[in-house]
Amino acid sequence: MSRHQLHITIMVHSPIIYEGLHTVLSQSDMDCVICKVDSLDDLEAILHSKKVDILITNPLLLVNREKDVKRIRKNNPHFSIVGINLGIVDSHSLALLDSSFTIFDTTEQVLSKLQKAGNNNKLKVTTNDDNLTERELDVLTKLVNGFSNKEIADSLNISIHTVVTHRKNITTKTGIRSQSGLTIYAISKKIISIEEVDLH
């Protein structure tokens, strides 16, 4: 799953607006997952278990709900609310929004506003390629040959703690956790030759 992915939740009553937004977002280049809720209560319920970066809503649905919105924001600091301006908006609800667009905006305008709202959330980016360092390759080779952490530490003259750190990095970079899985990885990458491996 991409780390740049935006989790967007849509709360509108009009099926036409929901379907329209869904289509525009799905067909755009924006990497996002879209979810639908019917009320602020439902939103709070799902916030317990999943990430929401942006809520797109009709500001009229926030009327008289300032307290709830404030509570949700307090519990979810990295969360933006983008309103759809349908022409009738009261100033109280408007104040609850981070940004808004109208149904007459172009697709590009809508997407750029959402992207901006998403960027405010400062998503953490980590690299994840499987280029192992020389030392990690050393540890991997010993590991798939059945060496224990202690034996690896002794033979490479490093501490067990360092071996554990290398192993963690190997798993993060390759996405493979088990020793058998790493053996197959090492062979596929030609780090070790198949003849070195005991098949029985």
- Binding stretches for other proteins (CB under 8 A): 7, 33-38, 42, 45-46, 48-50, 130, 174-178, 180-181, 183-185, 187-189, 194, 197, 199
Q: Residue 91 Cβ, how far from other proteins at the closest point, in Å?
A: 31
Q: Which is nearer to other proteins, 29 or 198 (CB)?
A: 198
Of the two residues 16 and 88, which places its CB atom closer to other proteins in the complex? 16
DSSP code per residue over 105-136: S-HHHHHHHHHHHHHTT------------HHH
**Nearer Cβ to other proteins, position 48 or 74?**
48
**Of 88, 102, 95, 19, which Cα lies nearest the Cα of 60?**
88
User: Least distance to other proteins from the beta carbon of 175, Å?
Assistant: 4
The amino acid at residue 65 is R
From the CB of 45, what's the least distance to other proteins, in Å?
Answer: 6
CB 195, min distance to other proteins, A = 9
Q: Does residue 96 contact residue 49 with C-beta atoms inside 8 Å?
A: no
